[in-house]
Amino acid sequence: MFIKPTKSKNFTYAQLVESYRDEEGKSRHRVIFNLGRVEDNPSLLRIGQRLVELASGKKVCSIEDLQGEEILGWGHVIYKKLWQEYELDRILKYVSEKTKIAYDLPNTVFRMVVQHLLDPCSKLKTYSKQQEYVGLEEVELNHLYRALDVLQQHKEEIEEEIFHNNRTLFNMEVDIVYYDVTTFYFESTKNDEELKEFGYSKDGKLNRVQVVMGLFVDTEGRPIGYELFKGNVFDSKTLKKSLEALSERFSIRKVVIVADRGMNSKENLEMIKEKGYGYVFASKLRSMPQQVIEQVLDQEGYIQINEEEGSFRYKVLEYDNKLTKGKGSLEERLIVTYSDKRARKDAADRQRMLDKATKLLAQPSKIDAANKRGGKKYLKQINADNARWVLDKDAIEKSSRLDGYYAIQTSEKKVDPRTILSKHHDLWKIEESFRIMKSNLEVRPMFHWTPRRIKGHFVVCFLAFLVQRELEFRMRKKGIHTSTQEIQRAINSLKVMKFSHGEQSYYMKAKSLPLASKILSLMKITQPDKVTPQEELTL
């Protein structure tokens, strides 16, 4: 049997028709029942719905009967799986049992971490936005704040457990680690005795108090550990405490530390060698002894490497780095490179400084207060009595001689120079790490003012950063190359709409970005059905 529409004048009529064969075996139709006119016929609609219900055993509803309630995110399941693989629930549960906490510490911390990953905001907003996600257990506001206190107290334990899990579960290689320092400022001018202090701001916020962070990452950009310092601590002074963490807390006995020139001091190099570590540091080439500069400028011994963007060449010099106070010397190699691209950049940078110097000469009253790292470096005073300043042509010429040259100091004398260059080139991974923390994960603005809450906040940021970098690492291994921002957008596109029909509630899956499907497939996470009854949704 089937439904046959029949046209008559301006209307369509529906008939229930049966097929049969006559005595001659020909196919014939006969009308079993006239269903009536199709147009504006609610009875016909009810008959159709009832037939579907009888056939499928499920009640058919009308669109008019549906009531939409809210749109909720479910992308946090991706981070939850990584969280579980890192055994962070186990680690935090152990901390919770030690401190005899009554509330659910793992769930509370995860709630802060996932909010930080998906939509960074204050702890108060984290509490108020709990209803925006499906499948997350709710936490109390005071638990969020109390958890920060616990995290800062057990920061080192948590880091150590995570690190050793990393080595066991993910075969993390730590023969090379990258180290760098950055600053995080507060919207405040009030310092304290422990953390917040005025200092040189890498964000250009010279009138704000800040904290300094020293961070170690592995070769894939995943964080190993970090230390916080008072806001006025110089970059080079942070390395000692951070090295102690590597050797004492993480039990790393042999490693090569890669860092930029801000870490390069004789004191730091000597300390690294005393710890039994090696180093690959950017060199302060322009402050090298004159005989070394002459060797650098001597073109003999350079090995040419052709690049698309111009000439690139390198050579290796043996360098006896004299230590202070008669402590002997460090036997190093100086790997010197030259590139046309860098030469153009150096010349352009110097021209910007010369433009600033020219502006200072036009307003001499501002010269004394000017930063020596700016245009003032190319000025010299020729008359102290009337404070007459002119361009320092010798300084300009000396600077231009080294356009395009770059040098790396290393203790690794048996490693191929190209390998050293490659490892130092990868220093961008830690620079990218700081950029991600400041932009996508928005470590600041910080809404905490006491040292313990600030420290607890940074533990949350560290955990969020760890999970994010692990996800990005796995995506790169599968050939999925994209930005942290695009990943964040994709995961936030995983939504369901909650609606009800009568007393029954359902979730309808919304269309998500293609990248979100790739991430779910990579993580082996099954998506929910298009429409799922509330009691059957499992995330």
Tokens of 166: 């990393």
Q: What is the pLDDT of residue 140?
A: 94
CA atoms of 408 and 216, how far apart (whole Å): 19
Half-sphere exposure of 36 (CA within 13 A, CB side): 10
Which of these, 198, 216, 215, lies nearest to 207 by C-alpha position? 198
Half-sphere exposure of 86 (CA within 13 A, CB side): 27
Pair 472, 488: CB distance under 8 Å: no
Single-letter residue type at 330 = L
Which of these, 441, 498, 461, lies nearest to 131 by C-alpha position? 498
Pair 196, 186: CB distance under 8 Å: yes
Looking at the DSSP bridge assignments, the partners of residue 258 are 178, 280
* Rg of the chain on CA atoms, in Å: 33
Query: What's the residue count for the chain?
Result: 539
pTM: 0.78
Pair 462, 454: CB distance under 8 Å: no
Pair 60, 47: CB distance under 8 Å: no
Pair 209, 185: CB distance under 8 Å: yes
Give the torsion sign (CA, 35, 40, 43, 44).
Answer: positive
Tokens of 245: 């963490």
Looking at the DSSP bridge assignments, the partners of residue 330 are 321
| Per-residue confidence in pLDDT tens, the chain, 539 aa | 567 888 877 788 777 677 777 777 777 787 766 767 776 666 666 666 655 555 566 665 666 666 667 889 999 999 999 999 999 999 999 999 988 888 999 999 999 999 999 998 888 899 999 889 998 889 999 999 999 999 999 999 999 888 887 776 555 556 788 888 888 877 777 788 788 888 877 777 777 888 888 888 888 888 888 999 998 888 888 888 888 887 777 777 678 889 888 888 888 888 888 888 899 999 988 888 899 999 999 999 999 886 665 688 999 999 888 877 667 788 889 999 999 989 999 999 999 999 988 888 888 878 777 777 778 888 888 876 656 888 888 889 988 999 999 999 999 988 899 999 988 888 888 888 888 877 765 665 566 678 888 899 999 999 999 999 999 999 999 999 999 999 999 999 999 988 887 778 888 888 899 999 999 999 999 998 888 888 888 87
Q: Is 485 left (phi over 0), alpha (psi -120 to 50) or beta?
A: alpha
Q: What is the pLDDT of residue 127?
A: 92
The residues, any chain, with a CB within 8 Å of residue 158's CB and separated by 6 or more, are: 91, 92, 95, 151, 459, 463
What are the CA-CA distances from residue 15 to residues 1, 7, 48, 167, 363 (Å)? 10, 11, 13, 72, 96
What are the CA-CA distances from residue 351 to residues 109, 310, 375, 404, 437 (Å)? 50, 21, 10, 15, 32
Q: Tell me the domain boundaries of the chain.
A: 2-60, 290-411
The residues, any chain, with a CB within 8 Å of residue 280's CB and separated by 6 or more, are: 256, 257, 258, 259, 408, 409, 410, 412, 420, 423, 424
Displacement of CA 478 from its chain's centroid (Å): 18
Displacement of CA 406 from its chain's centroid (Å): 29
| DSSP assignment of 285-297 | GGGS-HHHHHHHH
